[in-house]
Structure 1
Amino acid sequence: MVKKILFLCMTLMILLMPKGPVEAAGITAYEKFISPAYWTEHNADGDKVVLNAAGVEAFNKKIIAASPTVYDMAAYPKTLSGKTVAAYVNTHTDLSDELYREGKLVSDNYKNILRSQTNAAAIPAEVTVRYGVTVRRANLRNLPTGEGLFFYASDRNFDALQETALDPGEAVAILHTSTNGYFYYVQAYNYRG
């Protein structure tokens, strides 16, 4: 029965999919810009190599040197001071705003539970960095909980704790573990959480 329902849903989805390229009408007043043909006809250098491998490596090094939030994961330090890691972890624990969970105002008690789950008190004087690789899409959150917290009771879309997500295969430096052991505080090449 389940297979039949899935088959019917898939068939319906295929039948409802737009045929051909999806038009971008309404995005621009220049109608010719919404046609893929316009862009392929006006892009004479579309197959031109912009940077070779050495150029890409040099460009990436420039980005790392210029940005305090982008790291070369292959050169990430083997240890960090506990104070540094504590500052990272505690940066994300501002719970002074009114927040809502499942439409109800979050209590100070719940906020204190979240604060304690950061396990900041257990950060040693020197942190030995461990490494990992994401094996599936992974949410990078600013507090160790999978539950969404929202700025408005009716909101279900903009989780205040969701920072970004990591794709499968991304390298991370593991800096700390939550009290319950379910969450790692990690540094990805361009984000921490």
Structure 2
Amino acid sequence: MLNPSFWVELYEDSDKIIMTSDEIRQFNERNFKALPFLFDFKVLPRMVEGEEVLKWINGLSTVPASARYDESGNRYQQKDYDKLKENLNKGKIAESMNVAYGFTVKRTQMRTWPSFKKSFPDAASRRIDYFTETAVYAAEPVQIYHISADGHWYFARVYNYRGWIPAGDIALCPAEELEKYLNFSDFLVVKGPKIYIPESQDLRISGLQLDMGVKLRVLSESSEGYVVNFPVCDDNNGLRFVPITIPFSEDVSRGFPDYTVKNVLIQAFRFLGEPYGWGGMNNAGDCSSFIEDVYRSFGIILPRNSNQQEKLEGFVSFAGKGRMERLKILDSLKPGTPLYMPGHAMMYLGRFNGRYYIIHNVTTIYIKDADGALTPAELNQVSVTPLDIYNSEGNEYIMMLTKAVPVE
């Protein structure tokens, strides 16, 4: 069960193309139009209303209702939030704002506030920093709206998220240059959970992490591998491209692999055992980024969060369904179909010996014994589990499912 071939052999159409490259492009375009949290970088506005920027910032950078604690275990006070608010620089938001553009030059992150200060749910816990919004991967186009008061942070947007991103991790460029670069057709895509750029005397690129789904323009091939363009910052934070060589391996592909059940499962199982990281903490991923990254490696663009992903076109609802109806829905799904329940995203694998199985990036599951007692199992990694497990409140996963989203 811990090998994709086990599940591939249970599904007879595993090599059938689900969507061609043209159909994937059309699928993405429909979702760009239908879902407000996705952004198509084929359209590059030069101006944005300041009122919109202010609304976005106010919707993100809010003081939490519950108690939070900093890195030293001290409880946040109102004066701490006031200091964070000052750096939002709202007074500099004009009626109309010029939009700037750039590329990320390394794996970085978007945060709730323009600050690296952390926010933990209790004084002792360090597992979840609630000021971490999402990881942003290398070579990602970025749309920039605003800068923090200290000048160290941009309020910016990537294709599926808005937030505060470190200014030093962005190489700035004219919209025309970004547009020209994005039109390349010969590219390398990362298929492994992560690979690393070989060590180099150029410290801007030496040993950088490249995550699944990262695309880089291919310049040529050498005896050592693919020569690709990689974005870096010049001395003024402007964009420059440098050639780097990515060795030939199964972890990279020239162009996207075929979108089939077999390949989806192969991609998903590449993550097996990878650690859980809330919002991309610790260079890891969480439940929804696991789904997002697998599909992005085929060129399929998904929203960032689980409650957004389940709004994709063609979803199947479990609402109001009894157990037997839910099992019938599961029986109708292809392996690799994303499944959702409140706060969690999973990938369906199939049925074996009367039980239904998923692969997901999960922290803790619970097993219920004959007497109804719950026993926690700390996983904190991408794992294969049955669907007849429970959450901490004793609710079975099968009965908590809200939607399945066949991506086709």
The TM-score normalised by the length of structure 2 is 0.38
Partner Cα distance (1:35, 1:60) in 2: 30
- DSSP-derived class of the 2:146 partner: strand
Q: CA deviation at 1:99?
A: 1.8
Which has more radius of gyration?
A: 1
Give the distance between the partners of 2:30 and 2:121, measured in 1 at CA: 38
Higher RCO, 1 vs 2 (CA within 8 Å, ≥6 residues apart): 1
Structure 2 distance, partners of 1:64, 1:40, is: 31
Amino acid aligned to 2:138: P
Structure-2 residue corresponding to 1:187: 157
1:34 CA displacement: 4.1
Counterpart in 2 of 1:167? Answer: 137
Find the residue that maps to 2:31 and give its secondary structure.
Answer: helix
Q: CA deviation at 1:135?
A: 1.2
Q: Which runs of 5+ in 2 are unaligned?
A: 164-408
Distance 1:179 1:161 in 2: 18
Q: Where does structure 1 lack aligned partners over 5 or more consecutive residues? A: 1-32
SS at structure 2 position matched to 1:100? coil
The residue number in structure 1 matching 2:102 is: 132
- Equivalent residue, structure 2, for 1:92: 60
Q: How does 1:29-178 map to 2 (within 5 A)?
A: 33-97=1-65, 98-101=67-70, 102-178=72-148
Q: Distance in 1 between matches of 2:32 and 2:41?
A: 10
Percent identity between the two aligned chains:
29
One-letter amino acid of the structure 1 residue matched with residue 126 of structure 2: R
- Which one has a larger percent strand, Structure 1 or Structure 2? 2
Cα deviations by residue, 1:32-57 (Å, 9 ceiling, x for unpaired): x4454422323443333222222111
Higher helix proportion (structure 1 or 2)? 1
Runs of 4 or more consecutive aligned structure 1 residues displaced over 4 Å after TM superposition: none
Root mean square deviation of aligned Cα: 1.6
Cα distance in structure 1, aligned partners of 2:151 and 2:25: 37
TM-score by structure 1 length? 0.77
Amino acid at match of 2:144: I
Give 1:74 deviation, angstroms: 2.0
**Deviation per residue, 1:73-99 (Å, 9 max, x gap):** 221422110010011112122214322
Instruction: State how far apart, in whole Å, the 1-side matches of 2:75 and 2:8 are.
Output: 52
Q: Cα offset for 1:109?
A: 1.5
SS at match of 1:105: coil
Amino acid corresponding to residue 38 of structure 1 in structure 2: F
Q: Is the 8 A contact 1:90 1:120 kept in 2?
A: no
Report Cα offsets for 1:89-121 as digits up to 9, x if no partner. 121222143221121112222211100101111
